[in-house]
């Protein structure tokens, strides 16, 4: 289960798997549409982008936290389609593109998936060569599309009231307003 308080998602976990398995620096793999500087050297560069998602299950459960306070647990099961682009100005992307697939099926990847209750579906398609999109510079660019099944969860505190103010109404006045009972002067 990917918990909201950890600010993790399937796409960030996949990024971490690729960085670890391919032994890349943090600035070599980014999630698309974030502020970043494209490396100017000939090394490999990877972007991950969300193509779409489909919710196939959700539920809302009332439970108690460790202190016995009532909480609301919101859970959503989502299928996410993620595109991974492998690029370089040199032949690095050409010769290392297969390492992305190997990273996604590695033992480390399996462990991360188990720890976070998400799955990367088997990869049915190969790598698409998108080098022609780069124009005259002819950078190497390959893309792979993967599907993940993720389970997201968020806990919220439920407002719980166990004390209420009680107001007893006894008579109505001629004006339609409610008269408050007055204390008995003899008491």
SS3 for 51-62 is: EEEEEEEEEEEE
Where does the pLDDT of residue 155 fall: very low under 50, low under 70, confident under 90, or very high at 90 and above?
A: confident
Q: Stretch 51-63: mean pLDDT, rounded?
A: 91
Confidence at residue 52, expressed as pLDDT on a 0 to 100 scale: 92
* pLDDT surpassing 70 at residue 149: yes
So where are the chain's domains? Answer: 2-161
pTM here?
0.74
Give the mean pLDDT of 57-78.
Answer: 89
Residue 109 CA to residue 112 CA, distance in Å, equals 5
Angle between helices 107-116 and 10-22 (to 10 degrees): 160
Selected residue with higher pLDDT from 159 and 118? 118
pLDDT of residue 23: 94
Give the Cα separation of 55 and 77 in Å (integer): 6
Q: What's residue 66's pLDDT?
A: 85
Of 1-5, 11-15, 32-36, 40-44, give the range with the top mean pLDDT: 11-15
pLDDT of residue 117: 87
- In CATH, what class is 2-161? alpha beta
Contact in structure between 102 and 166 (CB atoms under 8 Å)? no
CA distance 22 to 32: 19
Mean pLDDT to the nearest integer, 70-87: 92
Q: Which two tokens stand for residue 71?
A: 């909480």
Q: Which one-letter DSSP state was computed for residue 26?
A: G
Q: What is the structure's pLDDT at 110?
A: 95
Return d(Cα 140, Cα 117) in angstroms, integer: 34
Tell me the residue length of the chain: 187
144 versus 123: which is more confidently predicted? 144
Average pLDDT, the chain: 83
Q: What mean pLDDT is predicted for residues 55-76?
A: 89
């Amino acid at each position: 289960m990917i918990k909201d308080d950890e600010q993790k998602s399937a796409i960030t976990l996949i990024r971490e798997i690729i960085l670890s398995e391919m032994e890349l620096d943090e600035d070599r793999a980014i999630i698309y549409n974030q502020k970043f500087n494209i490396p100017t050297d000939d090394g490999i560069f990877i972007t991950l982008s969300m193509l779409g998602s489909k919710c196939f299950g959700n539920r809302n459960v009332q439970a108690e936290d460790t202190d016995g306070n009532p909480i609301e647990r919101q859970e959503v099961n989502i299928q996410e389609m993620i595109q991974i682009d492998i690029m370089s100005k040199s032949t690095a992307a050409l010769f290392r593109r297969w390492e992305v697939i190997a990273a996604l099926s590695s033992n480390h990847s399996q462990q991360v998936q188990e720890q976070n209750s998400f799955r990367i579906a088997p990869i049915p398609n190969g790598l698409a060569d998108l080098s022609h999109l780069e124009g005259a510079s002819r950078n190497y660019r390959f893309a792979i599309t993967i599907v993940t099944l993720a389970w997201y969860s968020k806990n919220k505190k439920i407002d719980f009231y166990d004390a209420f103010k009680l107001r007893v109404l006894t008579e109505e006045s001629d004006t339609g307003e409610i008269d408050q009972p007055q204390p008995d002067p003899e008491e």
